[in-house]
Structure 1
């Protein structure tokens, strides 16, 4: 496995670093928008905020796997259990949130009258649904917390972090976790998305709206991104469940394919802010406003530091520093 190890030790740090930085920036902008600029007023807002939080918590676990890919696991047994558990919780929560966002859009477009009827209590319903999703993610992630451990791998003699069931654990029990992962983490969201978005497209085709073609393209992009990113890795996982083998010549190429497809699946969390948030006009407005506010703050900071270094007069310094007390529209400045 030396040649495979060389590949993963280079591929994982590069790809995971890109995913981490991109995921934090994109989803961070969504969180900043909701916390400082746009109030959470609807079910969609609540779902998008929770999705961004789940994606951020997911990608911040990737640097630990970068170190693991380069040097082996060095974060002890407790770090292994916590990281595997947190990783799993946010993975399942993110996938289930994508499913409920599809249902929310289906109700809003296909059953518009129904959506108006419960709009008054929509925010309360969405909070309950999000709590249930997070609790479900915790429950299905319990095996990760319990059975993940740090141990020395027989072939490479290095420390690894992985799920390791007891020797007396039944084969049926060992298959439950990957089956749950495939079901809740791929097949259930995929079926819900295909069902909801198919009916949404059908409704849009019947509508006499000049923007319907743009809306249809957005729907197709959402489904296509999910399938392209998630399908290859889940096919590999399904193959491992059905045809698990320990033959070396089979194991080596599967390790490479699994590493590549897993990185592609992780990249989907970087696309979520674009597909679900910043594709909207309002979010693009808030995004540009964040950029302007950050630019203005940076200019004020540079000017302030420059004025301090010059120290030309007390009046000049007091006038420049008073700029920070101006009451304006920016929540950052406040």
Structure 2
């Protein structure tokens, strides 16, 4: 899901060229037909909005996402000898989110000026962006499925199986994401748009290819993970509702926030892209005002989606008591002066996860 700052402009430029090449009409016989041919809509408003809005947004998300996910990765790596399966998925999730936001400065430059990094880096940045976009969603589905088995069925799939089982699952996720990103390696390149007088990182395949790629992103990167998460956490909540104690309330609050945050961050973007795709296919009437509104909405909602990378450290780590304890321990080990008076906590056992009370509840009779 490479940021689509100039895809419509490229498509409209080709439309304009076609109209100019085929503009010889017989005005005596085809006057009604020629009246309906119209040039592409001007994109001044959406382009100016992107130049002002996207660089600022991407810069903020870059700093927040890198710091938050870097902290998560540092804490988990400091305890790598006792990581649970959920912690391992969380570590890979933090890496995926950090790598995704790492590409945002490049797209900020592309939006503000033009793509100045060449076709090679265009392919790498686009593929890296999409690999980690898919990985983030699929790893969240893996976490929810792991918790579902543990709480609902009292089955420790990764604990009782071979130690490499969780590693094999992560490798399979990354391999699938790499497969999904192959179109970026093949079709992304730096193109100079004569109408815009600027070079941008764009896909070179026809409209049908862009539609197919968007459907893949919608299904594999959003709908399928969301359905898995919703089903797993609905079953988890059903079990927790019949249990007792404060741990149940904390776990309920967390699992609801997990699904809601993912849905709220990514649903608006995919709805806007769906409308944009229907306009390209002719299923929704096209006009200049609607095109401009969709382009601006796509920029705003994509920013909401990327914000999820910054929320993940808060939702999956900092809300957990175990994680906060391990964070203090790491700060003490690094000699942070503000934490010298903090009482050292005993090391967590392998049965405890760093990220939430949901795991603790799963090992306490649920």
Q: TM-score, normalised by structure 2?
A: 0.76
Moved more, 37-46 or 186-195: 37-46
Residues in 2 aligned to 1:122 and 1:216: alpha-carbon distance in whole angstroms:
31
> Aligned residue for 2:113?
71
1:41 and 1:123 in contact (8 A); partners too: no
Q: 1:57 aligns with which of 81, 94, 99?
A: 99
> Aligned residue for 1:288?
328
Residues in 2 aligned to 1:123 and 1:274: alpha-carbon distance in whole angstroms:
28
Change (3 A) 1:183 1:10: same
- Superposed displacement of residue 44, structure 1: 0.6
2:109 and 2:115 in contact (8 A); partners too: yes
Q: Deviation digits for residues 234-271 of structure 1, max 9, x if unmatched?
A: 11122222232664332211111000000000000111
* 2:224 is the counterpart of 1:188: yes
Q: TM-score, normalised by structure 1?
A: 0.82
After superposition, residues 1-334 of structure 1 pair within 5 angstroms as 1-112=43-154, 114-115=155-156, 119-121=159-161, 123-165=163-205, 172-244=208-280, 247-294=287-334, 296=336
1:12 and 1:69 in contact (8 A); partners too: yes
- Superposed displacement of residue 295, structure 1: 5.6
1:42 and 1:122 in contact (8 A); partners too: no
Change (3 A) 1:40 1:8: farther
- Superposed displacement of residue 275, structure 1: 1.0
- Superposed displacement of residue 61, structure 1: 0.3
Residues in 1 aligned to 2:83 and 2:334: alpha-carbon distance in whole angstroms:
25
1:34 and 1:40 in contact (8 A); partners too: no
Give the SS at the match of 2:83: coil
- Superposed displacement of residue 297, structure 1: 7.8
Residues in 2 aligned to 1:140 and 1:294: alpha-carbon distance in whole angstroms:
40
- Superposed displacement of residue 40, structure 1: 4.8
Residues in 2 aligned to 1:141 and 1:23: alpha-carbon distance in whole angstroms:
22
- Superposed displacement of residue 122, structure 1: 6.0
Q: Deviation digits for residues 263-289 of structure 1, max 9, x if unmatched?
A: 000000111111112211111112233
Give the SS at the match of 1:74: coil
Structure 1 unaligned residues grouped into runs of 5+: 299-328, 330-334
Residues in 2 aligned to 1:274 and 1:65: alpha-carbon distance in whole angstroms:
25
Change (3 A) 1:243 1:29: same
2:148 and 2:232 in contact (8 A); partners too: yes
Give the SS at the match of 2:319: coil
Residues in 2 aligned to 1:176 and 1:107: alpha-carbon distance in whole angstroms:
34
1:43 and 1:123 in contact (8 A); partners too: no
- What's the Cα RMSD here? 2.2
